[in-house]
Structure 1
Amino acid sequence: MRQESRGPEADADGTTRRTRRRGEEVERAVLRAAVEELTERGYEGFTMDRVAARAGTSKTAIYRRWSSRTSLALAAYREMVAQPDGPPDTGDLRSDVIGLLRSVADRLASPSGAEVLRGLMMDARRDPELMTRLREDFNRSEPGTMLILLARAVARGEARPESLVPRVATVPAALLRDEFTMRGPASVSDETIAEIVDLVFLPLVRAVPH
């Protein structure tokens, strides 16, 4: 396990000693600092130097974990928009998915979340390789909660077992994100969310009645 110097601290008798943080502690400190920097300064003012200073670590330690400013910003963005509570569980797939998407949309539309996502996507448009990595990263990170909702729906007979795959589970969030990035936060209305669910997602996963 990697450990990192935290810096000198004084014992009760005044003796200076150096404490060390484990790798997980450093990562948590960096992510927390990155979130705070993005929230306070926005994406344009986000720098590795400021994050390192706020986290009490070195840029070298950060680059060992995140290869670029963009990759760290993406990790921090995920922390900013993470689902704070468990997934909705209303007993109805449509209600669950609408509730989940509304929650995601509200977090996307927050001033800091909106600016960070726009900045990430603008950087990615200038770098095809980065765009590919971002899409792959989104596709890896997004299906979890939706797969939980789908699994419940399959157990209730609302959805086909064949729909319980990440490729299908990413569809609602991908459409929501595209709506947001292409047309802006104002376009992500309750009506838009209902259209994503009713016209695209439910026909894709719904079990055929016998």
Structure 2
Amino acid sequence: MSLGKDEQPVRRRRRGPALESALLDAAWQEIVEHGYDGLTYEGVAARASTSRAVVYRRWPTRPELAQAAVLHGARGVPYHPVDTGTLRGDLRAHLLWANGARISVAVIAATRLGGYFAETGTGPGDLRELLLDGRAPRTDALYANAVARGELDPARLTPRVRALAFDLFRAELLMTLRPVAEETIDAILDEVVMPLLIPPVADGR
């Protein structure tokens, strides 16, 4: 059935998860464009085509709204477990995924959330813990696979060594605020991480 020229299509009312996702999409875009200091309930409501009260009922403080929006933005890229057959290949594939999936969140955390961190007394590490939500880092599964293959001695997996590949990757990303070059990822793995995890066999000649 076609609509007459003076008729308007009926907007279907959003509810539950669909409404919450739309609100968080709007809040995330407000943070991306205006930063935490420019985040307002009115701006989120206007972008989501709803009322201020609808947003406020779910997140009654700006820090709660910002936190939910950042976590929503960070979780928006699906993760597919990797198994290339080698630890180096798995770590490289994981860092390349993070290069696309985490760059926007890292840049926003570094450049747009200063007011949020000051107001809440938290830092980027606290957001990361919320994002992990109690689960182990994804790299733990990569190390477990390498141990199961007999490729890696689990005694070498100290907490610092476990975190090293991603720590170096994250430091590079935050220093440049752009995706980490593939040659830099290769250097992180080949010059630092892999020699610590799987020391080269000494030449006995």
1:189-210 CA-to-partner distances (Å, cap 9, x unmatched) read: 112112222233324433897x
> Alignment identity in percent?
28
Of the structure 1 ranges 147-156 and 24-33, higher mean CA displacement relative to structure 2 is found in 24-33
Shift of 1:106: 3.0
The answer for the alignment partner of 1:206 in structure 2 is 198
The answer for the alignment partner of 1:49 in structure 2 is 42
Quickly say closer, same or farther: Cα 1:195–1:70, change in 2 above 3 A: farther
Listed as ranges, the gaps of 5+ residues in structure 1 are 1-18
1:1-20 pair list within 5 angstroms: none
Match of 1:151 among 144, 163, 177: 144
Match of 1:195 among 164, 171, 187: 187
Q: Give yes or no for contact 1:42–1:116 (8 Å, CA) kept in 2.
A: no
Q: Give yes or no for contact 1:157–1:207 (8 Å, CA) kept in 2.
A: no
Matched, 1:136 2:126: yes
Match of 1:61 among 54, 57, 64: 57
Higher relative contact order at CA 8 Å, sep ≥6: structure 1 or structure 2? 2
The root-mean-square deviation of aligned C-alpha atoms, in Å, is 3.8
Q: Give yes or no for contact 1:77–1:116 (8 Å, CA) kept in 2.
A: no
1:98-109 pair list within 5 angstroms: 98-109=92-103
- Secondary structure of residue in 1 paired with 2:88: helix
The answer for the alignment partner of 2:84 in structure 1 is 90
Distance 1:48 1:204 in 2: 49
Match of 1:72 among 64, 68, 75: 68
1:45-83 CA-to-partner distances (Å, cap 9, x unmatched) read: 544433345174623233259743542342133134x3x
Bigger Rg over Cα: 2
Count of residue pairs the alignment pairs up: 182
Q: Give yes or no for contact 2:28–2:73 (8 Å, CA) kept in 1.
A: yes
Give the partner amino acid of 2:146. Answer: A
